[in-house]
């Protein structure tokens, strides 16, 4: 189940609130035989990257279940998304080393199945009650309302929630300095609607995960001047939505090396493009280089107009956990541009 972005925390009877975690969304599935699987929002296996979490869940057998949650790295300084991304390493020896040095925490916030029983059609309040009982039988802790008291990993915890908007506002303000990303508001009587945006997220800044579909060269021709950003429409067509250029000189050169293997991809060929010639020259500002749409980055922006960012977006971070095809216009709450 997904969330739509809003600028204000919704209020009124029936609304409940949880902190919005800065991690990897994860489905946790435990079989009758005790087999533990961690799967990303886009269906990619995560278990091999977080063996300490797999072992932690496996050694606390509460029976078969499927739960929704988030993988985090929590240090003394708070949540560390950059360190979490380091955990997605292809070498098993490196994975094992990092699992000891920067262990993860798994936070569960919804229960979708217990044994053979599908719980997704039950109200959220009922699913939370069932999750709390399951967690108790598994020896899992409950994350404290004071997020500053969250222990470092490896840990298995249940997310806190509240119907008190005052506490929700304190979480949103990040008074504890843990680094949570805002608030998720959910209706207590709502079923779990897989793939639908039935929750509301209120973030500290307006962000979107965008596909890098191309780049323009820096004026000196030695590095990347700006990344060209795209989102997919409902037909799987990638459309240009804006650019980001907030990089230092050294970062521009590093980006050129990073992007070189992707040059020559289809990019925005079927949808709305940035305009200007679309090949390999470094002359005018309108010229740009096509890329295979394989990388995703998170950017922050001020507003959307005519289906694109009105001003340059600010680069926030890479999102190696996101499938480019999952980056759609739904994030912006606007319709994709008419094309063709």
- Do the Cβ atoms of 129 and 114 come closer than 8 Å? no
Task: Identify which of 222, 273, 226 has the alpha carbon closest to the alpha carbon of residue 245.
Answer: 226
* 257 secondary structure, DSSP code: H
Q: 259 — phi, psi (to 5°)?
A: -85, -15
Distance of CA 190 to the CA centre of its chain: 22
Task: Considering the candidates 20, 97, 186, 219, report the single residue annotated as catalytic.
Answer: 20
How many CA atoms lie less than 13 Å away from 329 in the CB half-sphere?
22
How many CA atoms lie less than 13 Å away from 280 in the CB half-sphere?
6
> Cβ atoms within 10 A of the Cβ of 137, count?
12
Distance CA 196, CA 77 (A): 34
Q: 53 — phi, psi (to 5°)?
A: -75, -40
Which residues, in sequence order, are CB contacts of 91 under 8 Å at separation 6+? Answer: none
Is position 248 annotated as part of the catalytic site?
A: no
Catalytic residues: 20
């Amino acid at each position: 189940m997904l969330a739509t972005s809003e600028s204000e925390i919704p209020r009124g009877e029936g609304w409940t609130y949880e902190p919005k975690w800065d991690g990897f969304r994860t489905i946790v599935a435990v079989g009758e035989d005790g087999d533990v699987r961690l799967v990303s929002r886009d269906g990619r296996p995560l278990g091999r990257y977080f063996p300490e979490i797999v072992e932690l869940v496996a050694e606390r057998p509460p029976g078969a279940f499927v739960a929704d949650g988030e993988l985090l790295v929590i240090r003394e300084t708070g949540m560390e998304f950059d360190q979490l991304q380091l955990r997605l390493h292809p070498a098993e020896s490196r994975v094992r080393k990092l699992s000891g040095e920067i262990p993860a925490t798994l936070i569960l916030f919804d229960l979708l199945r217990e044994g053979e029983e599908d719980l997704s059609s039950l109200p959220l309040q009922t699913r939370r009650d069932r999750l709390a009982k399951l967690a108790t039988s598994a020896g899992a802790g409950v994350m404290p309302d004071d997020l500053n008291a969250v222990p470092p990993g490896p840990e298995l915890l249940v997310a806190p929630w509240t119907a008190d908007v005052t506490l929700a506002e304190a979480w949103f303000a990040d008074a504890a300095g843990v680094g949570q990303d805002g608030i998720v508001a959910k209706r207590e009587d709502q079923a779990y609607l897989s793939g639908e945006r039935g929750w509301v997220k209120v973030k500290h800044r307006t962000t979107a995960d965008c596909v890098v579909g191309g780049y323009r060269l820096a004026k000196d021709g030695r590095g990347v001047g700006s990344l060209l950003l795209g989102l997919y429409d409902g037909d799987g067509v990638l459309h240009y939505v804006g650019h980001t250029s907030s990089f230092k000189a050294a970062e521009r050169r590093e980006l050129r090396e990073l992007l070189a293997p992707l040059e020559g991809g289809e990019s925005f060929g079927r949808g709305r493009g940035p305009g200007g010639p679309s090949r390999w020259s470094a002359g005018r500002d309108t010229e740009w280089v096509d890329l295979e749409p394989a990388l995703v980055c998170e950017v922050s922006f001020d507003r959307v107009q005519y289906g694109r960012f009105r001003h340059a977006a600010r680069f926030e971070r890479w999102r190696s956990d996101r499938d480019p095809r999952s980056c759609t216009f739904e994030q912006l709450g606007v319709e994709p541009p008419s094309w063709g």
